[in-house]
A and B are shown apart, each in its own frame.
Chain A
Amino acid sequence: MEENQNPVYKNKDYGQSRELLYSYENDGQYKKTVGFHGEPDRIILQQAWDLFGERIEDARKRVKAGKVSPVVYYMEKNLLDPMNLGMIAGISLWRVKWHFRPVVFNRLQEKTLKKYAKAFNITIDQLKNIE
């Protein structure tokens, strides 16, 4: 594939697969084409990833500064919000928000940590120390 196939995407893994797209021609025929999305479609997708990237970077800084617990970083990395994280990990919303405090996080039981680790698909060591 050419280098500048998808100049809009910042990550070069993006936009590598072809999809089936429909279109309506002037002669009144519906046409199916297998190909790549046009530029506007890619701009809006990149917009979403930009926002997610910003949020992850922001969360990492806050965790490093000791303002929030690593749960926040992994939550943002997995593109979750507290409600969905609660649903996936099986912990109630208010407890999830409570665990955002570093002090509370540091004295969490092994059982709860395991739940988070399973939800984020990582080990407990990784959960405690972010890279």
Chain B
Amino acid sequence: METTKTIINYTHRQAGHCESGATSNLFKFYGLDISEPMAFGIGNGLYFSYIPFLKIMFAPMISFRNLPNTVFRRATQYLGIEATVIKKIKDPKEAMAMLDRNLEQGIPTGMQVGVFQLTFFPPEYRQHYNMHNLVAFGKEGNLYHISDTVMEFPQVLTYDDLLRVRYAGGAFAPQGKMYWINNLKPGIDIKPAIIKGIKKTVYEMIGIPFPLIGVKGLKWMARDLKKWPKKHGNEKASFYLGQILRMAEDFGTGGAGFRYIYGAFLKEAGELFGNHSELLEAADIMGKTANKWREFTYIGARNCKNRSKPEEDYSMLSEMLMGIAQSEEVVYRKLEKIKL
């Protein structure tokens, strides 16, 4: 059998967050120079939800990010870029054939995958987490060339491995989801997209009339955190606290639950709008809030190390989280009133 070889001249750049990194890399491939924080901000990556009755990895579901594929979909929508997103492909072989056809035409293609069986991924992260994104940019015989923005360098995956991760089961199953850009005209003005992106994020963080989403969800979690040791015992409380921190710090967030990336976006946007003072101020508060998140991690991790004998009081941690929620709310209230 002849080995076919097609490799697209696609530049891999490491990024903090898998999806906005992939989106930014794809835009750059088509000649639109947008950084990772910019793609993240326009595509409304920032989010918070706390769902105590739904357990993921034996702890309440806490999410610092939007639903999978939001960043790419909204960014292309707001910027007016023609893109295709296929949510579900029933036949796995057909899904792989579609990917092959795309690669032959020279289109780098993004995919949603599950992390657990991803062979090149750092082993400490291999849990059931189905919202990971990567971009395939070449095929060589049985091997696919993969750009995963969490990793420092491009990777390779075999046909079977790629098929398995694209059809990983469980919650938020990828079901072979893939997306690519069809047409990107030069000379796109990104300012209107930034305004739309900020408005949508502000709505999602303080506007949704449901108590478990956005800043309200953060406050709810802070109140719950106080009750955990009594309700579940020290062991479990420390594991639940660890879950908050893991979701905020470890799973490809660029640190502090995407707050650093969002702050960087606000700063970049402020500079783009001619050093807009209010935006820069919001970026400053966001950065300080993110530093508070880091501090929260430092103190919380001490509790996790000594599980049965907590060193710090949970009510103190709860107050700290409440303070974080309030200072985040200040940012969104500021952004709500801003006139650009």
Q: How far is the CA of A15 from the CA of B123 in the complex (A)?
A: 8
Residue-by-residue, is A54-98 near B (CB-CB < 8 Å gives 1, otherwise 0)?
000000000000000000000000111100100111000000000
Task: Name the distance in Å between A7's Cβ and chain B's nearest Cβ.
Answer: 12
B1 contacts partner chain A, Cβ-Cβ < 8 Å: no
Chain A residue nearest in CB terms to B123: A13
Please give, as numbers and ranges, the residues of chain B lying within 8 Å of A17 by CB-CB distance.
Answer: 122, 151-152
Of the listed stretches A33-41, A102-110, A122-130, chain B binds A33-41
Query: In residues 273-294 of chain B, which contact A (Cβ within 8 Å)?
Result: 284, 287-288, 290-291
Interface size range on B against A:
35 or more
Task: Tell me whether A22 and B254 are in contact in the complex, defined as CB-CB below 8 angstroms, given that A28-B287, A88-B169 are known contacts.
Answer: yes
Chain A residue nearest in CB terms to B128: A79
Give the A-B contact count at a CB cut-off of 8 A: 122
A11 contacts partner chain B, Cβ-Cβ < 8 Å: yes
Task: Tell me whether A88 and B170 are in contact in the complex, defined as CB-CB below 8 angstroms, given that A48-B57, A79-B127 are known contacts.
Answer: yes
Please give, as numbers and ranges, the residues of chain B lying within 8 Å of A1 by CB-CB distance.
Answer: none
Task: Tell me whether A47 and B122 are in contact in the complex, defined as CB-CB below 8 angstroms, given that A24-B287, A41-B250, A79-B57 are known contacts.
Answer: no
Secondary structure of the A side of the interface? mixed
Partner of B169, one of A11, A14, A84: A84
Q: Could you list which residues of chain B lie within 8 angstroms of chain A, going by C-beta atoms?
A: 14-16, 37, 55, 57-58, 116-117, 122-124, 127-128, 150-152, 164, 168-171, 173, 238-239, 242-243, 245-246, 249-250, 252, 254-256, 260-261, 263-264, 267, 284, 287-288, 290-291, 297-298, 300-302, 304-305, 307
By Cβ-Cβ distance, the 9 closest A-B pairs, closest first, are: A88-B169, A24-B287, A40-B301, A22-B260, A30-B264, A14-B124, A22-B254, A44-B242, A84-B170
